[in-house]
Structure 1
Amino acid sequence: MKQVKTLIAAFTFIIAGVQMGFAQDAQPTKVCHVASQELVESMPSAIAADKQLRNLAKTYETKLTAMDKELKTRYQTAQEAAPNRSQEENERVLAELAEGQKKLEEYYQNSQKAMGQKRTDLLKPLYKQVRESIFKVARAKGFDYVLDSTTGTGIIMADGYDLTNDVKADLGIK
């Protein structure tokens, strides 16, 4: 039993010595922060992409409004004509109206999906460009870690070095 205690004590001293050796060789870690979302949003190509997305959304909205207006007109016409038609014909018209409503909903869902894909296609290269610039500038300035200080990313306080302006300069953003 005494040998086990001696072995544990020796092992503890060895580990402590190794850790102290590492601690003496360790360099302080350099950390900075950057607001990546601000960088992307301030890029001229992001502003152009936003304009393109707004125009696309307007196109979809115009089409949806026209489809909705047509469906409402058809529904009103069907209601007015219902007393003069047979039960079978009224059921057929209601089925057509239900199909029209379904098409309207499908178009809306497809437009939302297309908008999301277009946004991804337009912004993905910008996020990549910003990321590469952050890496380049941070490495040039000797930082080991870069934290994203964009709101909602989990950073509570960011009083350290702010790399945002340096990356803006690298990207040519004023």
Structure 2
Amino acid sequence: MKHFKTLLLVAIFTIGLGGIANAQKTAHINTDLLLSEMPATKAMKSELEKLSKTYRDDIEAMYKKLDAKFKKYDAEGKSQTQEVNQKRAAEVQQDKVRIQKAEQTASQQMQKKYQEKTIPLLKKAEDAIKAVAAEKGIIYVFDASPGKGLIVYDKGENILSAVKAKLGF
């Protein structure tokens, strides 16, 4: 019985120390900061801004064309028949609907392009974080980005610089 108590105490002590050792194998990283500093993210933002400008320019041109048409029809409205004016009003309304659809399509295309470009970046960052964690023997890596749930991270290891090095920047 005496040996059993000693064995039990040693087991509890060992498990307790194992828990402490595991608790020290945690780290944190601000993934928002990592992603914003990745060269591929900067290139993606530049590409998306160009695409957005193209969509804005096209839609702005559609608005200018509609405005010119509206002014022309408004100026000629008194000299036209009511039937012609009704057709023109319907035409202007159809143009407005076309512009709204173009805006919706542009928005959807921008979201789609953003997702297409972001997913590989997230995967690359995640793989680098996992690789650094494996190299350093880290079991848990917490996201220290604002609003991600991690509040206290002063004493844990910040692996941002190691992950940046792993990614080559």
TM-score by length of 1: 0.83
The number of aligned residues is 155
Task: List per-residue Cα deviations over 1:38-87 (Å, max 9, x = no partner).
Answer: 11221212111111111111111110110000011111111111111111
Identity of aligned residues (%): 28
Structure 1 residue 151 corresponds to structure 2 residue 165:
no
Question: What CA deviation, in whole Å up to 9, does each residue of 1:112-137 have, x standing for no partner?
Answer: 11011111111211110000110111
Taking the aligned partners of 2:152 and 2:75, their CA distance within structure 1 comes to 65
2:126 maps to what in 1?
Answer: 131
Cα deviation, residue 21, structure 1: 5.3
SS in 2 for 1:167: helix
Q: How far is the alpha carbon of 1:156 from its aligned partner? A: 2.1
Q: Which residue of 2 aligns with 1:58?
A: 53
Give unpaired runs (5+ residues) of structure 2.
1-7
Separation (CA, whole Å) in 1 of partners of 2:28 and 2:119: 21
- Asked if 1:168 is matched to 2:164, the reply is yes
- Of the candidates 87, 90, 106, which is equivalent to residue 92 of structure 1? 87
- Which blocks of at least 5 consecutive residues in structure 1 are unaligned? 1-17
Change (3 A) 1:93 1:23: farther
RMSD: 1.8
2:27 partner SS: strand
**One-letter code of the match for 2:130?**
F
Find out whether 1:27 has 2:23 as its counterpart: no
Secondary structure at the aligned position of 1:154 is classed as coil
